[in-house]
Amino acid sequence: MSFVVPKESFGGKVLAVDFGKEGSKLTIGGETTLPFLAFEGEVPNRPVVAYEIQDCAPEDWPETVQSIYKDVSGDPVSWAKYCQETLGAKAIALRLVSTHPDRGDRSAEAAAQTIKDVLAAINIPLIILGSNHIEKDATVLVAAAEAASGYNCIIGKAQEGNYKTIVAAALAHNHKLIAMSELDINLAKQLNILITQMGFDKEKLITDPMCSALGYGLEYTYSVMERIRLAGLAQNDPTMQPPIVGDVGMYVWKVKETVASGNDVPEWGELEERSISWETVTATSMMLSGSNLLIMRHPRAVENVEKTIDELM
C-alpha cells in the first residue's frame, strides 16, 4: 500500500483583513485551509501579535508583567513608544480601561485625546479597545473611532448590547471592527449577521468568540474557534469567515498560576517562567485553533510566540 497525502480542499476561505495606515499596514487571515496546513492550501499571512497597553497604570496586572512597564506605564504615549521602539511591537492594542465607571470613569472626550496622542507617537497599526462596559463603550468607542479617523484601526469590542452605535462609528470612519460574543458559535454567527445587516462589510470584521486562559476554560475557546473555522471553510458559511482575535493577555494575567509565587505554591515551580509560559501556551493554543490576531502582555511570551510562528509558517 503506498501512501497518498490526504489533502482536503475547502469551498470557503478566511477573509483577509488589513489594518493600519498605508505603508505600515498589516494583513491577517486569507488562508484557504485550517491553521498552518500549508501542504493543502494557502496560508498567506502570519498571525499578528499586538502588545496590549492601557490608558492608566496597570495596577491590577501581576508584578511579573507590571514591572516590565513600570517606567512607562504611567503615560500611554510613553508606553506605546516603548513597545514600538524598544520591544519591536508590530501592532499595539490600547485598552481604554480608565473609561470604565469603576476604574476612573474618564470621559469619551478624554479617551479620544489619548488616542490622538498615541496615534501621533507611533507608526505601527493600532487596535482600540473599550473597557468592556456595555453602555460606556457605546459612547467611548464612537469618540475613539472619530479621533482615529483615517488611521484604519481595529475598534472593539462590539457586543450584542451595544453594537449599533459602534458599528455606525466604525463604518463612518472606515475602521475594522471586533465583534465579540461569549463562547458560543451561534451567538458569534448571529452577531456577525446583525452587524452586516447594518451595511457593515463582512470583510472588515474580526470575530472574538471570547478567549479563556490555559486551565480556565481554554478547551471551550479552542473548540469554538475550531468550529468557526470549519464552518467558514468546509461549509463555506460567509458569516463565519472573518479572521479571529484571541485577547489572551487579559485572561491569562489574573489566574492564580500567573500570580502565586513559587514560595506560596512550591509544587508549581518558579513564577517568572510559569506565568510567561502560561501566556505563551495559551496564545499558541489559540493560534492552532484559528486565531489570526493575538493581544498579549509579556515581551518574553510575545517573543516565544513569534518564534513558534516562525516555526509554523
Write out the residues near other proteins by the rule CB under 8 A: 1-6, 8, 35-39, 60, 101-102, 132, 183, 212, 214-220, 222-223, 226-227, 230, 254-255, 257, 266-271, 273-274, 276-278, 280-281, 284-285, 288-289, 300-301, 304-305, 307-308, 311-313
- Which of 88/101 has CB closer to other proteins? 101
Find the shortest distance in angstroms from Cβ 111 to other proteins.
Answer: 19
Minimal distance in Å, beta carbon 134 to other proteins? 8
Residue 101 CB, shortest distance to other proteins, in Å, is 7
CB of 257 to other proteins, least distance (A): 7
SS3 of the chain: helix, strand, coil, percent, to 5: 45, 15, 40
Q: Residue 117's closest CA among 96, 90, 88, 131?
A: 96
CB of 1 to other proteins, least distance (A): 6
Of 88 and 150, which has the nearer Cβ to other proteins?
88
The conformation of residue 153, written as its DSSP 8-state character, comes to: -
Smallest separation, CB 85 to other proteins (Å):
24
Residue nearer to other proteins on the CB measure, 75 or 303: 303
Name the region of 104 (left: φ>0; alpha: ψ -120 to 50; beta: rest): left
Report the DSSP pairing between strands 17-19 and 205-208. Answer: unpaired
The DSSP code for 290 is T
Query: Angle 48-156-299 (CA atoms, 0-180°, nearest 5)?
Result: 35
- Taking the alpha carbons of 213, 251, 75, 71 in that order, is the dihedral positive or negative? negative
Closest among 128, 212, 124, 198 to 168, alpha carbons compared: 198
CB closer to other proteins out of 164 and 307: 307
Q: Which long-range contacts (CB under 8 A, 24 or more apart) does 255-260 make?
A: 255/213, 255/215, 255/216, 257/214, 257/215, 258/62, 258/64, 258/65, 259/62
Cβ contacts of 118 within 8 Å, gap of 6 or more:
76, 77, 80, 92, 94, 126
Q: How far is the CB of 41 from other proteins (least distance, A)?
A: 12
How far apart are CB 79 and other proteins at their closest, in Å?
22
Nearer to other proteins, 2 or 197 (CB): 2
Q: Nearer to other proteins by C-beta: 109 or 184?
A: 184
Which C-beta is closer to other proteins: that of 122 or that of 211?
211
Distance CA 290, CA 230 (A): 10
Length of the chain: 313
CB-nearer residue toward other proteins: 151 or 253: 253
